[in-house]
Amino acid sequence: MKKPRFAALALVPFALIGCSTEGELTTQGIVTTRTACPSVAIPSALGDITLFDPATSRDASAIDVVAHITNVRSTCDDSGEYILTNVTFEVHGQRRNPQGAREVVLPYFATVVQGGSNVVSKRLGRVALRFADGQYRASTSGGGSGQVLRSAATLPEDIRRQITRERKAGDADAALDPLADPTVRAAVTRASFELLVGFQLTQEQLAYNATR
């Protein structure tokens, strides 16, 4: 497919990379650090790509090039009205036939997702793996960025007070998780963002990854 269905990716586990800190939320004695910076992740089904020759075959003997995204790193500037996150990553590839110099161009995306399913923005890019004559492996690097309106990533003060309110033993709601409240849970979801990076796969490539 030409564009990944990010609504479906809410059900796909993400490999979280990292983020900065903003404050601490305490629920049931557990201190959780929350940040306005989006978490950076690779959707598990979109971090690998396999090219076949012939392209219509899915036999192991027809695998031409395989590549994967790794070493994802991010920086976040949350000092302004918009939170800007930059991400860099490496792409490592391997080919079946080492004869001759060859360049393989692979498409990738960097997208900001709100609440696990709502695509806020999406940018496409390309990376080129350049295999030297006689080499099986090649590596390259890529990058992307995304921005989030700071006010959208900030919990409303009443919701924050409800989550962080001190609860004493013996209180009627001492053992209740504030996130069990649908209003609180919805507010936290709306204020949660991810910056996702991965290969821009075709429908056939995505189906192949799902069966690996």
Per-residue pLDDT of 123-182, as tens digits, reads 999 999 999 999 999 999 999 999 999 888 888 777 777 776 666 665 655 556 666 677
Strand stretches in the chain, DSSP E: 14-16, 23-27, 30-34, 39-43, 48-52, 63-77, 82-95, 102-114, 118-131, 137-149, 193-199
Q: Encoding tokens for residue 65?
A: 């090039």
**pLDDT value, residue 17:** 45
Instruction: Give residue 188's identity as a one-letter amino acid code.
Output: V
Q: How far is CA 78 from CA 73, 151, 160, in A?
A: 17, 11, 19
pLDDT at 4 over 60: no
Which domain covers residue 80, as residue numbers? 34-166+177-211
pLDDT of residue 179: 65
Does residue 11 sit within a domain? no
Percent residues over pLDDT 90 in the chain: 57
Determine the pLDDT at residue 34.
60
Is 64 among the domain residues? yes
Q: Is 70:90 a contact under the CB 8 Å cutoff?
A: yes
Candidate from 82-91, 99-108, 109-118, 151-160 with smallest mean pLDDT = 151-160
Q: Is the pTM of this model over 0.85?
A: no
Q: Is residue 203 part of a domain?
A: yes
pLDDT for the residue numbered 139 = 98
Which tens digit of pLDDT belongs to each residue from 5-35? 333 343 344 444 444 334 444 444 444 456 7
pLDDT of residue 74: 95
Residue 109 CA, chain-centre distance (Å), reads 10
Residue 130, CA distances (Å) to 83, 98, 141, 188 in order: 34, 12, 12, 44
**Residue 142 covered by a domain:** yes
Counted domains in the chain: 1
For residue 126, which phi and psi values (nearest 5 degrees)?
-140, 145
Task: For residues 187-194, give the mean pLDDT.
Answer: 86
Q: Please report the pLDDT score of residue 22 as a whole number.
A: 43
Q: Are 153 and 38 in contact (CB under 8 A)?
A: yes
Residue 106: inside a domain? yes
d(CA 83, CA 89): 20
54, pLDDT greater than 90: yes
First vs last C-alpha separation in the chain: 18
Domain membership of residue 120 (yes or no) is yes
In a domain, 21, yes or no: no
Specify if 25 maps to a domain. no
pLDDT of residue 167: 63
What three-state secondary structure class fits 26? strand
Angle between helices 157-164 and 182-190 (to 10 degrees): 120
Residue 200 clears pLDDT 90, i.e. is over it: yes
Higher pLDDT, 161 or 94: 94
The number of C-alpha atoms within 13 Å of 40 and in the hemisphere containing its C-beta is: 26
